Amino acid sequence: MSFKPANNIQDLQYFGEFGGVNPSISDSSTYTFLSAKTMFDTFEGNADGCYLYSRHSSPSNLYLGEALAAMEGTETATVTASGMGAITPVILQLCGSGDHVISSRTIYGGTYAFLKNFTPRFNIETSFVDITKLDAVEAAITKGTKIIYCESVSNPLLEVADITRLAEIAKKHNLKLVVDNTFSPLSISPAKLGADVVVHSLTKFINGSSDTVAGAICGTQEFIDDLRNVNDGACMLLGSTMDSLRSASVLKNLRTLHIRMQQHSFNAAYLAEKFEADGLKTVYPGLKSHPSHKLFKSMMYDKYGFGGMLTIDVGSIDKANELMEMMQEKNLGYLAVSLGFYKTLFSAPGSSTSSEIPDDEREAMGLSDGLIRFSIGLDSDIERTYNIMRECMEKLNVLEPKTFEMT
Protein backbone atom coordinates (compact mmCIF):
# COMPACT_ATOMS: atom_id res chain seq x y z
CA MET A 1 0.00 0.00 0.00
CA SER A 2 1.28 3.46 -0.90
CA PHE A 3 -0.15 5.06 2.26
CA LYS A 4 2.40 4.78 5.08
CA PRO A 5 0.88 6.00 8.36
CA ALA A 6 4.03 5.59 10.45
CA ASN A 7 6.06 7.54 7.87
CA ASN A 8 3.53 10.35 8.02
CA ILE A 9 3.97 10.57 11.78
CA GLN A 10 7.75 10.42 11.42
CA ASP A 11 7.75 13.28 8.91
CA LEU A 12 5.94 15.68 11.24
CA GLN A 13 8.43 18.10 12.75
CA TYR A 14 7.50 20.69 15.34
CA PHE A 15 9.81 23.08 17.17
CA GLY A 16 9.34 24.39 20.67
CA GLU A 17 9.25 28.08 21.50
CA PHE A 18 12.98 28.23 22.25
CA GLY A 19 14.12 25.65 19.70
CA GLY A 20 13.06 22.65 21.78
CA VAL A 21 12.68 19.33 19.97
CA ASN A 22 9.18 18.99 21.42
CA PRO A 23 6.56 21.69 20.77
CA SER A 24 5.92 24.03 23.65
CA ILE A 25 2.89 23.28 25.82
CA SER A 26 0.24 25.98 25.75
CA ASP A 27 -0.53 26.30 29.46
CA SER A 28 -3.25 28.91 29.12
CA SER A 29 -7.01 28.78 29.15
CA THR A 30 -7.39 32.16 27.44
CA TYR A 31 -5.37 34.27 24.99
CA THR A 32 -4.82 37.99 24.61
CA PHE A 33 -5.14 40.18 21.52
CA LEU A 34 -3.47 43.41 20.45
CA SER A 35 -6.63 44.55 18.69
CA ALA A 36 -10.32 44.05 19.36
CA LYS A 37 -10.95 43.32 15.67
CA THR A 38 -8.61 40.33 15.75
CA MET A 39 -10.53 38.95 18.72
CA PHE A 40 -13.79 39.29 16.79
CA ASP A 41 -12.31 37.66 13.68
CA THR A 42 -10.95 34.78 15.77
CA PHE A 43 -14.33 34.22 17.40
CA GLU A 44 -15.88 34.07 13.93
CA GLY A 45 -13.23 31.59 12.79
CA ASN A 46 -11.59 33.99 10.36
CA ALA A 47 -8.14 34.41 11.91
CA ASP A 48 -5.86 31.45 11.31
CA GLY A 49 -3.10 31.00 13.87
CA CYS A 50 -4.94 32.95 16.55
CA TYR A 51 -6.45 31.45 19.69
CA LEU A 52 -9.30 32.73 21.81
CA TYR A 53 -10.14 30.22 24.54
CA SER A 54 -8.85 26.68 25.07
CA ARG A 55 -12.27 25.05 24.89
CA HIS A 56 -12.29 26.23 21.27
CA SER A 57 -8.74 25.17 20.50
CA SER A 58 -5.14 25.38 21.67
CA PRO A 59 -1.77 25.01 19.94
CA SER A 60 -1.04 21.76 21.78
CA ASN A 61 -4.36 20.22 20.74
CA LEU A 62 -3.87 21.30 17.14
CA TYR A 63 -0.41 19.72 17.00
CA LEU A 64 -1.83 16.39 18.18
CA GLY A 65 -4.81 16.67 15.84
CA GLU A 66 -2.51 17.24 12.86
CA ALA A 67 -0.45 14.18 13.80
CA LEU A 68 -3.52 11.95 14.12
CA ALA A 69 -4.90 13.18 10.80
CA ALA A 70 -1.57 12.30 9.21
CA MET A 71 -1.75 8.83 10.77
CA GLU A 72 -5.31 8.17 9.57
CA GLY A 73 -4.98 9.90 6.21
CA THR A 74 -7.79 12.42 6.78
CA GLU A 75 -7.87 16.14 6.07
CA THR A 76 -7.77 17.05 9.73
CA ALA A 77 -8.69 15.88 13.24
CA THR A 78 -9.75 17.22 16.60
CA VAL A 79 -8.99 15.80 20.04
CA THR A 80 -11.29 15.35 23.01
CA ALA A 81 -11.12 14.57 26.72
CA SER A 82 -12.05 10.89 26.28
CA GLY A 83 -12.97 8.27 23.72
CA MET A 84 -16.64 8.70 24.59
CA GLY A 85 -16.05 12.44 24.29
CA ALA A 86 -15.20 11.72 20.64
CA ILE A 87 -17.93 9.19 19.84
CA THR A 88 -20.90 11.03 21.33
CA PRO A 89 -20.48 14.41 19.59
CA VAL A 90 -19.96 12.70 16.23
CA ILE A 91 -23.29 10.91 16.56
CA LEU A 92 -25.10 13.99 17.83
CA GLN A 93 -23.60 16.17 15.07
CA LEU A 94 -24.75 13.79 12.35
CA CYS A 95 -28.16 12.92 13.81
CA GLY A 96 -31.17 14.88 14.98
CA SER A 97 -34.67 14.12 16.21
CA GLY A 98 -36.30 11.39 14.13
CA ASP A 99 -33.03 10.05 12.75
CA HIS A 100 -31.77 6.48 12.86
CA VAL A 101 -28.40 4.78 13.42
CA ILE A 102 -27.29 1.32 12.33
CA SER A 103 -24.67 -0.01 14.72
CA SER A 104 -22.69 -3.17 15.12
CA ARG A 105 -24.16 -5.22 17.96
CA THR A 106 -20.70 -5.92 19.38
CA ILE A 107 -19.23 -2.58 20.39
CA TYR A 108 -17.76 -1.02 23.49
CA GLY A 109 -20.29 -1.11 26.32
CA GLY A 110 -20.27 2.66 26.81
CA THR A 111 -21.08 3.26 23.15
CA TYR A 112 -23.81 0.63 23.30
CA ALA A 113 -25.34 2.28 26.38
CA PHE A 114 -25.22 5.71 24.70
CA LEU A 115 -27.04 4.46 21.61
CA LYS A 116 -29.44 2.16 23.44
CA ASN A 117 -30.36 4.27 26.45
CA PHE A 118 -29.35 7.91 25.92
CA THR A 119 -29.98 8.91 22.30
CA PRO A 120 -33.67 7.84 22.45
CA ARG A 121 -34.16 10.88 24.72
CA PHE A 122 -33.48 12.92 21.58
CA ASN A 123 -35.74 10.71 19.45
CA ILE A 124 -32.73 9.05 17.81
CA GLU A 125 -33.18 5.30 17.42
CA THR A 126 -30.58 2.59 16.78
CA SER A 127 -30.77 -0.83 15.14
CA PHE A 128 -28.04 -3.19 16.38
CA VAL A 129 -27.02 -5.70 13.72
CA ASP A 130 -24.38 -8.31 13.02
CA ILE A 131 -21.96 -6.04 11.17
CA THR A 132 -20.32 -9.01 9.44
CA LYS A 133 -23.60 -9.74 7.61
CA LEU A 134 -23.77 -7.04 4.97
CA ASP A 135 -27.26 -8.00 3.81
CA ALA A 136 -28.53 -7.46 7.37
CA VAL A 137 -26.85 -4.05 7.46
CA GLU A 138 -28.48 -2.94 4.23
CA ALA A 139 -31.85 -4.39 5.23
CA ALA A 140 -31.82 -2.27 8.40
CA ILE A 141 -31.61 1.03 6.48
CA THR A 142 -34.70 3.25 6.81
CA LYS A 143 -35.67 6.67 5.49
CA GLY A 144 -34.29 8.19 8.69
CA THR A 145 -30.94 6.40 8.72
CA LYS A 146 -27.96 8.76 8.87
CA ILE A 147 -25.05 6.64 10.18
CA ILE A 148 -23.56 3.18 9.95
CA TYR A 149 -21.41 2.79 13.06
CA CYS A 150 -18.88 0.04 13.73
CA GLU A 151 -15.49 -0.78 15.18
CA SER A 152 -12.69 -1.98 12.90
CA VAL A 153 -12.20 -4.85 15.32
CA SER A 154 -15.08 -5.16 17.74
CA ASN A 155 -14.88 -4.96 21.51
CA PRO A 156 -14.76 -7.56 22.97
CA LEU A 157 -15.56 -10.34 20.46
CA LEU A 158 -12.95 -9.26 17.90
CA GLU A 159 -15.31 -9.38 14.94
CA VAL A 160 -13.83 -7.64 11.90
CA ALA A 161 -15.81 -5.08 9.89
CA ASP A 162 -15.56 -5.15 6.10
CA ILE A 163 -14.96 -1.42 5.92
CA THR A 164 -14.70 -1.24 2.13
CA ARG A 165 -18.05 -2.96 1.60
CA LEU A 166 -19.71 -1.00 4.41
CA ALA A 167 -18.45 2.22 2.81
CA GLU A 168 -19.99 1.17 -0.49
CA ILE A 169 -23.35 0.59 1.22
CA ALA A 170 -23.09 3.92 3.03
CA LYS A 171 -22.33 5.85 -0.15
CA LYS A 172 -25.10 4.06 -2.06
CA HIS A 173 -27.65 5.26 0.49
CA ASN A 174 -26.05 8.66 1.22
CA LEU A 175 -25.08 7.69 4.77
CA LYS A 176 -21.98 8.39 6.86
CA LEU A 177 -19.75 5.49 7.88
CA VAL A 178 -18.23 6.10 11.30
CA VAL A 179 -15.51 3.68 12.39
CA ASP A 180 -13.91 3.32 15.82
CA ASN A 181 -10.31 2.28 15.13
CA THR A 182 -9.14 2.05 18.75
CA PHE A 183 -8.13 -1.63 18.54
CA SER A 184 -6.13 -1.37 15.33
CA PRO A 185 -4.13 1.87 14.93
CA LEU A 186 -1.59 1.65 12.09
CA SER A 187 -2.73 -1.89 11.24
CA ILE A 188 -5.92 -0.63 9.56
CA SER A 189 -6.62 2.80 8.04
CA PRO A 190 -10.43 3.05 7.80
CA ALA A 191 -10.49 6.40 5.97
CA LYS A 192 -8.38 4.91 3.19
CA LEU A 193 -10.96 2.13 2.91
CA GLY A 194 -13.86 4.56 2.58
CA ALA A 195 -14.88 5.54 6.13
CA ASP A 196 -16.15 9.11 6.48
CA VAL A 197 -15.19 9.58 10.13
CA VAL A 198 -12.65 7.71 12.25
CA VAL A 199 -12.74 7.92 16.03
CA HIS A 200 -10.23 6.76 18.63
CA SER A 201 -9.89 6.36 22.33
CA LEU A 202 -6.35 7.73 22.59
CA THR A 203 -6.30 6.32 26.12
CA LYS A 204 -5.49 2.87 24.73
CA PHE A 205 -2.75 1.84 22.27
CA ILE A 206 -1.99 5.30 20.91
CA ASN A 207 -0.98 6.73 24.28
CA GLY A 208 0.12 3.36 25.59
CA SER A 209 0.94 4.20 29.20
CA SER A 210 -2.49 4.19 30.89
CA ASP A 211 -1.93 7.64 32.36
CA THR A 212 -4.24 9.68 30.15
CA VAL A 213 -7.90 9.64 29.13
CA ALA A 214 -8.38 11.15 25.67
CA GLY A 215 -10.12 10.76 22.32
CA ALA A 216 -9.89 11.86 18.71
CA ILE A 217 -12.12 12.48 15.70
CA CYS A 218 -10.53 12.31 12.24
CA GLY A 219 -12.43 13.48 9.16
CA THR A 220 -12.87 16.18 6.57
CA GLN A 221 -12.08 19.82 7.30
CA GLU A 222 -15.76 20.66 6.81
CA PHE A 223 -16.95 18.09 9.35
CA ILE A 224 -14.36 19.02 11.98
CA ASP A 225 -15.21 22.70 11.49
CA ASP A 226 -18.88 21.83 12.01
CA LEU A 227 -18.02 20.06 15.28
CA ARG A 228 -16.12 23.16 16.45
CA ASN A 229 -18.78 25.68 15.40
CA VAL A 230 -19.53 28.05 18.29
CA ASN A 231 -23.26 28.08 17.52
CA ASP A 232 -24.14 24.43 16.95
CA GLY A 233 -20.97 22.35 17.01
CA ALA A 234 -21.33 19.27 19.25
CA CYS A 235 -17.68 19.26 20.33
CA MET A 236 -17.76 22.97 21.09
CA LEU A 237 -21.03 22.98 23.00
CA LEU A 238 -20.68 19.68 24.87
CA GLY A 239 -17.26 20.81 26.06
CA SER A 240 -15.23 17.60 26.03
CA THR A 241 -11.98 19.56 25.85
CA MET A 242 -8.60 17.88 26.08
CA ASP A 243 -6.03 19.43 28.40
CA SER A 244 -2.94 20.80 26.63
CA LEU A 245 -0.55 19.00 28.96
CA ARG A 246 -2.18 15.67 28.11
CA SER A 247 -2.12 16.47 24.40
CA ALA A 248 1.61 17.05 24.57
CA SER A 249 2.07 13.76 26.42
CA VAL A 250 0.09 11.76 23.86
CA LEU A 251 1.95 13.40 20.98
CA LYS A 252 5.28 12.23 22.41
CA ASN A 253 3.98 8.70 22.90
CA LEU A 254 2.57 8.63 19.38
CA ARG A 255 6.15 8.72 18.09
CA THR A 256 6.77 5.18 19.35
CA LEU A 257 3.41 3.68 18.36
CA HIS A 258 4.84 1.83 15.34
CA ILE A 259 7.37 0.01 17.53
CA ARG A 260 4.85 -0.81 20.23
CA MET A 261 2.17 -2.11 17.86
CA GLN A 262 4.64 -4.51 16.28
CA GLN A 263 5.51 -5.95 19.70
CA HIS A 264 1.90 -6.07 20.91
CA SER A 265 0.95 -7.95 17.74
CA PHE A 266 3.92 -10.33 17.85
CA ASN A 267 3.22 -11.28 21.46
CA ALA A 268 -0.53 -11.65 20.93
CA ALA A 269 -0.02 -13.86 17.88
CA TYR A 270 2.42 -16.09 19.80
CA LEU A 271 0.03 -16.57 22.73
CA ALA A 272 -3.02 -17.06 20.49
CA GLU A 273 -1.30 -19.82 18.54
CA LYS A 274 -0.17 -21.54 21.73
CA PHE A 275 -3.58 -21.28 23.42
CA GLU A 276 -5.37 -22.63 20.36
CA ALA A 277 -2.92 -25.52 20.09
CA ASP A 278 -3.61 -26.28 23.77
CA GLY A 279 -7.29 -26.69 22.97
CA LEU A 280 -8.55 -23.42 24.44
CA LYS A 281 -11.36 -21.62 22.64
CA THR A 282 -9.24 -18.74 21.36
CA VAL A 283 -10.27 -15.77 19.22
CA TYR A 284 -7.61 -13.69 17.50
CA PRO A 285 -7.84 -12.21 13.98
CA GLY A 286 -4.34 -13.48 13.22
CA LEU A 287 -5.43 -17.12 13.58
CA LYS A 288 -6.49 -18.83 10.37
CA SER A 289 -9.45 -20.21 12.32
CA HIS A 290 -10.85 -16.69 12.78
CA PRO A 291 -13.80 -16.29 10.38
CA SER A 292 -12.53 -12.89 9.20
CA HIS A 293 -8.81 -13.71 9.08
CA LYS A 294 -8.60 -13.22 5.30
CA LEU A 295 -10.65 -10.03 5.47
CA PHE A 296 -8.39 -8.50 8.12
CA LYS A 297 -5.33 -9.53 6.11
CA SER A 298 -6.74 -7.83 3.01
CA MET A 299 -7.12 -4.51 4.88
CA MET A 300 -4.00 -4.49 7.05
CA TYR A 301 -0.48 -3.17 6.86
CA ASP A 302 1.44 -6.42 7.41
CA LYS A 303 4.22 -4.78 9.38
CA TYR A 304 1.94 -3.98 12.33
CA GLY A 305 0.25 -7.35 12.58
CA PHE A 306 -3.22 -8.31 13.73
CA GLY A 307 -3.21 -6.27 16.92
CA GLY A 308 -2.67 -6.89 20.60
CA MET A 309 -6.14 -8.13 21.61
CA LEU A 310 -7.25 -11.74 22.03
CA THR A 311 -9.88 -13.67 23.98
CA ILE A 312 -10.12 -17.11 25.51
CA ASP A 313 -13.16 -18.81 27.03
CA VAL A 314 -12.60 -20.79 30.25
CA GLY A 315 -16.23 -21.79 30.72
CA SER A 316 -17.47 -19.80 33.71
CA ILE A 317 -17.08 -16.44 35.43
CA ASP A 318 -15.77 -18.14 38.58
CA LYS A 319 -13.02 -19.88 36.63
CA ALA A 320 -12.24 -16.68 34.75
CA ASN A 321 -11.89 -14.73 37.99
CA GLU A 322 -9.70 -17.41 39.57
CA LEU A 323 -7.39 -17.46 36.56
CA MET A 324 -7.10 -13.68 36.34
CA GLU A 325 -6.36 -13.37 40.05
CA MET A 326 -3.65 -16.03 39.82
CA MET A 327 -2.07 -14.46 36.74
CA GLN A 328 -1.92 -11.14 38.56
CA GLU A 329 -0.28 -12.83 41.57
CA LYS A 330 2.34 -14.24 39.18
CA ASN A 331 3.10 -10.72 37.87
CA LEU A 332 1.86 -11.60 34.38
CA GLY A 333 -0.26 -8.47 34.21
CA TYR A 334 -3.15 -6.68 35.85
CA LEU A 335 -6.79 -7.58 36.39
CA ALA A 336 -8.00 -4.32 34.91
CA VAL A 337 -10.15 -2.83 32.19
CA SER A 338 -8.72 -0.74 29.34
CA LEU A 339 -6.04 -1.86 26.89
CA GLY A 340 -2.86 -0.89 25.10
CA PHE A 341 -0.72 -0.76 28.28
CA TYR A 342 2.88 -2.02 28.29
CA LYS A 343 1.83 -4.70 30.79
CA THR A 344 -0.82 -7.27 29.88
CA LEU A 345 -4.33 -6.37 31.06
CA PHE A 346 -7.12 -8.93 31.43
CA SER A 347 -10.79 -8.67 32.32
CA ALA A 348 -14.08 -10.54 31.97
CA PRO A 349 -16.09 -8.24 29.66
CA GLY A 350 -19.44 -9.72 30.66
CA SER A 351 -19.02 -8.29 34.16
CA SER A 352 -17.01 -5.18 33.26
CA THR A 353 -16.65 -3.32 29.95
CA SER A 354 -19.72 -4.93 28.36
CA SER A 355 -21.88 -5.13 31.48
CA GLU A 356 -24.15 -2.40 30.07
CA ILE A 357 -25.42 -4.94 27.52
CA PRO A 358 -28.40 -6.97 28.86
CA ASP A 359 -27.77 -10.64 29.66
CA ASP A 360 -30.01 -11.98 26.90
CA GLU A 361 -28.33 -9.81 24.26
CA ARG A 362 -24.85 -10.81 25.47
CA GLU A 363 -25.87 -14.44 25.18
CA ALA A 364 -27.28 -13.91 21.67
CA MET A 365 -24.04 -12.35 20.44
CA GLY A 366 -21.88 -15.07 22.01
CA LEU A 367 -20.42 -13.04 24.85
CA SER A 368 -20.16 -15.74 27.51
CA ASP A 369 -19.49 -15.30 31.23
CA GLY A 370 -16.27 -17.29 30.92
CA LEU A 371 -14.77 -15.02 28.28
CA ILE A 372 -11.49 -13.33 29.22
CA ARG A 373 -10.28 -10.41 27.13
CA PHE A 374 -6.51 -9.94 27.01
CA SER A 375 -4.67 -6.80 25.99
CA ILE A 376 -1.24 -8.32 25.49
CA GLY A 377 1.70 -6.29 26.74
CA LEU A 378 5.23 -5.64 25.53
CA ASP A 379 6.85 -8.63 27.28
CA SER A 380 10.39 -9.19 26.04
CA ASP A 381 10.23 -12.97 26.63
CA ILE A 382 6.76 -14.04 25.52
CA GLU A 383 7.65 -17.74 25.74
CA ARG A 384 8.30 -17.30 29.47
CA THR A 385 4.97 -15.48 29.81
CA TYR A 386 3.16 -18.33 28.07
CA ASN A 387 4.79 -20.98 30.24
CA ILE A 388 3.73 -19.23 33.45
CA MET A 389 0.22 -18.66 32.10
CA ARG A 390 -0.03 -22.33 31.24
CA GLU A 391 1.09 -23.30 34.75
CA CYS A 392 -1.73 -21.16 36.15
CA MET A 393 -4.23 -22.83 33.83
CA GLU A 394 -3.04 -26.29 34.82
CA LYS A 395 -3.34 -25.50 38.54
CA LEU A 396 -6.95 -24.40 38.02
CA ASN A 397 -7.78 -27.35 35.72
CA VAL A 398 -8.43 -25.07 32.79
CA LEU A 399 -5.85 -27.19 30.97
CA GLU A 400 -4.66 -30.71 31.58
CA PRO A 401 -0.99 -30.98 32.58
CA LYS A 402 1.27 -31.73 29.66
CA THR A 403 2.44 -35.31 29.45
CA PHE A 404 5.68 -36.34 27.87
CA GLU A 405 6.14 -39.74 26.31
CA MET A 406 9.21 -41.71 27.36
CA THR A 407 11.45 -42.84 24.52
| 3-state DSSP of the chain | CCCCHHHHHHHCCCCCCCCCCCCCCCCCCECCCCCHHHHHHHHCCCCCCCCCECCCCCHHHHHHHHHHHHHHCCCEEEEECCCHHHHHHHHHHHCCCCCEEEEECCCCHHHHHHHHHHHHHHCCEEEEECCCCHHHHHHCCCCCEEEEEEECECCCCCCECCHHHHHHHHHHCCCEEEEECCCCCCCCCHHHHCCCEEEEECCCCCCCCCCCCCEEEEECHHHHHHHHCCCCCHHHHHCCCCCHHHHHHHHHHHCCHHHHHHHHHHHHHHHHHHHHHCCCEEECCCCCCCCCHHHHHHHCCHHHCCCCEEEEECCCHHHHHHHHHHHHHCCCCEECCCCCCCCCEEECHHHCCCCCCCHHHHHHHCCCCCEEEEECCCCCCHHHHHHHHHHHHHHCCCCCCCCCCCC
Residues 6+ apart with CB under 8 A from 32: none
Higher-confidence residue of 36 and 311: namely 311
Q: Per-residue confidence at 364, pLDDT binned at 50, 70, 90? A: confident
Residues 6+ apart with CB under 8 A from 102: 126, 127, 129, 137, 140, 141, 145, 147, 148, 149
Are 378 and 209 a contacting pair, CB within 8 Å? no
- Taking only the tens place, the pLDDT of each residue in 91-144 is 999 999 999 999 999 999 999 999 999 999 999 999 999 999 999 999 999 999
Mean per-residue pLDDT, 20-30 = 88
User: 257-277 and 382-395 helices cross at what angle (nearest 10)?
Assistant: 40
Mean per-residue pLDDT, 396-406 = 81
Mean per-residue pLDDT, 84-92 = 98
User: Dihedral, CA atoms, 298, 300, 303, 304, nearest 10 degrees?
Assistant: -140
Are 348 and 369 a contacting pair, CB within 8 Å? yes
- Taking only the tens place, the pLDDT of each residue in 48-71 is 667 777 787 888 999 999 999 999
Within 13 A of 104's CA, how many CA atoms are on the CB side? 27
Q: Which of 156, 157, 405, 393 has its CA nearest to residue 278?
A: 393
pLDDT at 131: 97
Q: Which of 212-226, 281-295, 348-362, 370-384 has the lowest mean pLDDT?
A: 348-362
Q: What's the rounded Cα separation, in Å, for the pair 274 and 390?
A: 10
pLDDT at 96: 97
Domain boundaries, the chain: 5-254, 258-395
pLDDT at 405: 56
Q: Per-residue confidence at 33, pLDDT binned at 50, 70, 90? A: confident
pLDDT at 44 over 80: no
Are 22 and 245 a contacting pair, CB within 8 Å? no
Domain 5-254 of CATH type 1.10.150.300 = no
- Taking only the tens place, the pLDDT of each residue in 246-286 is 999 999 999 999 999 999 999 999 999 999 999 999 999 99
| Domain 258-395 fold | Aspartate Aminotransferase, domain 1 (3.90.1150)
Question: b/e for 323-353, b at 16 or more Cβ within 10 A?
Answer: bbebbbeeebbbbbeebbbeebbbbbbbeeb
Q: What's the rounded Cα separation, in Å, for the pair 190 and 5?
A: 12
pLDDT at 215: 98
> pTM for the complete prediction?
0.93
In the predicted model, what is the mean pLDDT of the chain?
93
pLDDT at 353: 59
| Paired residues of 178 in beta bridges | 149, 197
pLDDT at 289 over 90: yes
Phi, psi for residue 281 in degrees, rounded to 5: -70, 105
pLDDT at 407 over 60: no
pLDDT at 222: 97
Mean per-residue pLDDT, 214-221 = 98
Mean per-residue pLDDT, 220-249 = 94
Burial class (CB in 10 A: 0-12, 13-18, 19+), 312: buried
Are 38 and 50 a contacting pair, CB within 8 Å? yes
Q: What's the rounded Cα separation, in Å, for the pair 101 and 83?
A: 19
Q: What percent of the chain has pLDDT over 90?
A: 81
Q: Per-residue confidence at 404, pLDDT binned at 50, 70, 90? A: low
